Structure 1
Amino acid sequence: MYIRKTFILITACLIVLLSSGCNYSTKGADPSNKSIKNFPIFLSAEITDAKFSFLDDKIVWIGLNAINNGSPFTEILSSSDHGQTWSTTLMGNYNIVSMQFVDSEHGWAIGNADPQSSKKVYSILSTKDGGQNWSKQFETVQASRISPYQIQFLNIKDGFARFNTNLFSTTDGGESWRQISSIENLMSFDFRDDKEGWATNTDSIWHTTDGGNIWNKEWSVPENIKKRLEPINSKVIINSTLEGWALFSSEGTMSQTSKIILHRDQSGNWTIESGYYMAAPPFSGNPAPLETSDLFPISDTRAFLVAYTPATYPVAVLKTNDQGKTWLAIIDQSRPKGFPVMLPGDLARINFVNDQLGWAIVVNRSASKNTLNIVKTEDGGANWKVVMQK
């Protein structure tokens, strides 16, 4: 009798939610209490972003961020069989802005509880069951509409997190966090182990060998370039071989947009391989695109550059096989076979696991009803196939 009443009550609640689009988040509640399995995302809500986390070529997590009646939520989709089958968990009260899993069970994320406010509440969330349930470990308020954030765990114990220019570390899986020294205007970091790591700010790359207590400058933007490059975003990625990549980019009007892409050899030397700014000539013979971009290295010599241009064609993807010296277009307005048709205003998010395997989320906002496409490529972006469409 109790089970029947419970089923009737849950069914009634779901009917009300689906028909009215009401606010289903509970402010202040632990996100672990809002995990609902096998619950489809509200396609009537505004899907605002998507985040990926990969464990290998089989296991993938996708966090779909959305806003419903002013309240944020994230539906986390996970697959352990190349995307053939999926499980879903609904996380109320948060938009996921950074997510990482270190094995099939343990994962962490940074969630934004108030994405439409000028004063945003960010929390570090953790899961021990593959993303089905989440608990809050740490919370901070950032008085900024655009707050840089990043989380990186090396194993189930050692991790680092960044909020604005503040850098934190944990040695107990996130149960406790301590603030460590960070460089001025910190924008990104990448730790090789619990001691050695790299970071970037507006115009430099930094190196630490003591877990972030002391940082030494490893490279700076040359003065003759600094006058025309005023970065507001930068990123560093170091491979296991100690070779690495970095991206410095500025955003703004057409006269301000610029970027440079660097490669690091094993001896620690950084070289500007390509770039773009509005004053001719470009930094090298083969400039990278001017659009706002994200860099995804997949080896010492190969990387993907994903550029988002929502006002025109929503996405462009380029690939380099020579450390960034030259770039080949993979996706542009002449889209590859199987990739969804896109129009200005549609949403795309793309990430690559390796040289061949990549995943993409495409939301066709231009349609009369939002259409969500999850597609993947197994040949480096030449061909794509749909694995889910709603």
Structure 2
Amino acid sequence: MKRCSVGARVGLMAMVLCLAGLFPNAISMPQASAKKSATKPPNSTTKGDPKSEQPKFKAIWEPVNVRDDLELMSVHFATADEGWVAGGRSVMAGGVILHTKDGGANWEVQLGDPQSSDRAYRDLRFVEPKIGFAVQSTGGGDHQLLRTTDGQNWAPSGTVGQHRTDYRFISADVGFYAGGAEIYRTRNGGRTWEPVYQCRVKAEINGLTRDVNCEFDQLYFVDANVGYATSRRIESGAGFVMAKTEDGGATWTPWVILPGEDGKEGALHFFDANTGVMRTINGKVFRTTDGGKTWTSVPGQIDGKPNIEFADAEVGWMVRYNSMMYTTNGGKSWVSRNIGFPASVTAFSLVQRDRGYAAGPHGMVYRYRIVPIDYTSKGMLAAPAMPAR
């Protein structure tokens, strides 16, 4: 064995080098310690990485059409997948109500025949998921009222005024319709109706207090007790009338609102007894938080006189023709988008903030939903995404 012989002058380093030569595996030089997490896995992304900020989902409208050349005039969905459309081959013939339970993938005829000479069905109104009403013109006199209590079978239940401007039911038997100056009520599903209120109110016109008549236009019920009605414009631009009931329609209290505006062919929605949203004939939108006593104009305006529907207390829509106006803050402001539907939307139904339907002529039904960002389908249209809860 080789000896290490070193003098005192050589020093400690020489001794170490000598021993390393004799025992190469016995002594190792210390290595620099690696910092933890210095390198991330190749597939991960760091904050600020553009890839990590790309959306994973998008909102679309996609066709789930009825495969027949029908003029669809009304649509209602009780759940994300179960719904009804009503219409006919025309207003005068081919009346039909169709039903789907798979989001429009398949449609079945529940009432009528597209090839018949029967007039169209329209004005779907549901009070519960399986209890609903529809109207059919009779060609003269009051219109026929049809009812389903199981979501499947429809049968005549009575009539409803021919010259009504709106009708609403609050149960399977109790309902109201507005016709001219009066509000009518039925307690037996439309077999008989009785007037419960005639519109007449004191209003200031040209600086003078006058008793004026008015004609009701829209109805909306928050629950079985609280309901609202709006009228058309009264004289000399004095505004129009709002009336409220708190006893299930037995009595009504009127007052005048919004001078210069007109409630004709408007739309009305209330979240509760105090907070509501209204559209007037010119497409302006107003909001109240005091039970309709005062109304404040909010940003947003739409053509076409659409209804107002809300999925919840925040997300609401108005859809008509090729325009979709929506709110995500309970109606405090509205934003409009043009959607390239292949036909003009005549009716829509908003079920929940990520599911809605729009219907129109030629059997057109489009479904709104949220899908993965790379999803594609024939006829798909881009849509504004409603915020997740």
Scaled by the length of structure 2, the TM-score of the pair is 0.63
Out of 189, 195, 199, the residue aligned to residue 179 of structure 1 is 195
2:159 is aligned with 1:161: no
Partner of 2:7: none
**Mind listing any 5+ residue stretches in structure 2 that lack a counterpart?**
1-65, 200-213, 233-239, 380-389
2:316 is aligned with 1:288: no
- Partners of 1:140 and 1:354 lie apart in 2 by 32
Partner of 2:342: 341
Partner of 2:75: 52
- Partners of 1:84 and 1:244 lie apart in 2 by 35
How do 1:122-133 and structure 2 match up within 5 A? 122-133=143-154
- Partners of 2:292 and 2:376 lie apart in 1 by 37
Query: Runs of 4+ in structure 1 displaced over 6 angstroms?
Result: 382-387
Partner of 1:86: 107
Instruction: Sort the Cα spacing of 1:65 and 1:247 in 2 relative to 1 into closer, same or farther, 3 A.
Output: same
- 1:248 Cα deviation from its structure 2 partner: 1.4
- Partners of 2:218 and 2:357 lie apart in 1 by 23
Specify the code of the residue in structure 1 equivalent to 2:367: K
Out of 230, 254, 258, the residue aligned to residue 217 of structure 1 is 254
* Contact 2:97 2:121 (C-alpha < 8 Å) held by counterparts: no
2:386 is aligned with 1:379: no
- Partners of 1:206 and 1:198 lie apart in 2 by 6
| Relative contact order higher in (CA < 8 Å, ≥ 6 apart) | 2
**Mind listing any 5+ residue stretches in structure 1 that lack a counterpart?**
1-39, 250-257, 275-285, 309-314, 364-370
Instruction: Sort the Cα spacing of 1:111 and 1:159 in 2 relative to 1 into closer, same or farther, 3 A.
Output: same
* Contact 2:88 2:96 (C-alpha < 8 Å) held by counterparts: yes
2:148 is aligned with 1:148: no
Specify the code of the residue in structure 1 equivalent to 2:368: T
* Contact 2:77 2:349 (C-alpha < 8 Å) held by counterparts: no
* Contact 1:167 1:181 (C-alpha < 8 Å) held by counterparts: yes
Aligned CA-pair RMSD: 3.3
2:100 is aligned with 1:63: no
Specify the code of the residue in structure 1 equivalent to 2:134: A
- 1:165 Cα deviation from its structure 2 partner: 4.5
2:345 is aligned with 1:317: no
- Partners of 1:67 and 1:219 lie apart in 2 by 39
Specify the code of the residue in structure 2 equivalent to 1:353: V
How do 1:97-116 and structure 2 match up within 5 A? 97-103=122-128, 105-114=130-139
- 1:194 Cα deviation from its structure 2 partner: 3.3
* Contact 1:98 1:149 (C-alpha < 8 Å) held by counterparts: no
- Partners of 2:128 and 2:319 lie apart in 1 by 26
Partner of 2:206: none
User: Secondary structure at the residue paired with 1:233?
Assistant: coil
- Partners of 2:305 and 2:219 lie apart in 1 by 19
Deviations 1:274-311 (Å, cap 9, x if unpaired)? 3xxxxxxxxxxx44134443322333343212233xxx
Decide which structure has the larger Cα Rg and report it.
2
Out of 251, 267, 277, the residue aligned to residue 235 of structure 1 is 267
Specify the code of the residue in structure 2 equivalent to 1:215: W
- Partners of 1:305 and 1:361 lie apart in 2 by 13
2:351 is aligned with 1:353: yes
* Contact 2:119 2:137 (C-alpha < 8 Å) held by counterparts: yes
- 1:377 Cα deviation from its structure 2 partner: 0.9
* Contact 1:77 1:86 (C-alpha < 8 Å) held by counterparts: yes
How do 1:257-272 and structure 2 match up within 5 A? 258-265=282-289, 270-272=294-296
Partner of 1:307: 320
- Partners of 2:141 and 2:262 lie apart in 1 by 26
Instruction: Sort the Cα spacing of 1:287 and 1:186 in 2 relative to 1 into closer, same or farther, 3 A.
Output: same
* Contact 1:201 1:234 (C-alpha < 8 Å) held by counterparts: no
* Contact 2:185 2:196 (C-alpha < 8 Å) held by counterparts: yes
- 1:75 Cα deviation from its structure 2 partner: 1.6
Deviations 1:164-195 (Å, cap 9, x if unpaired)? 54433233444443332143310011123333
Deviations 1:218-237 (Å, cap 9, x if unpaired)? 55013xxx1xx444322322
Partner of 1:244: 276
Scaled by the length of structure 1, the TM-score of the pair is 0.63
User: Secondary structure at the residue paired with 2:268?
Assistant: strand
Partner of 1:330: 337
- 1:199 Cα deviation from its structure 2 partner: 0.7
User: Secondary structure at the residue paired with 1:57?
Assistant: coil
Deviations 1:238-272 (Å, cap 9, x if unpaired)? 224642111211xxxxxxxx343121226655432
User: Secondary structure at the residue paired with 2:347?
Assistant: strand
Specify the code of the residue in structure 1 equivalent to 2:286: L
Instruction: Sort the Cα spacing of 1:385 and 1:326 in 2 relative to 1 into closer, same or farther, 3 A.
Output: farther
Partner of 1:135: 156
How many residue pairs match? The answer is 287
Partner of 1:368: none
- Partners of 2:351 and 2:376 lie apart in 1 by 14
* Contact 1:303 1:320 (C-alpha < 8 Å) held by counterparts: yes
- Partners of 2:152 and 2:358 lie apart in 1 by 20
- Partners of 2:160 and 2:308 lie apart in 1 by 29
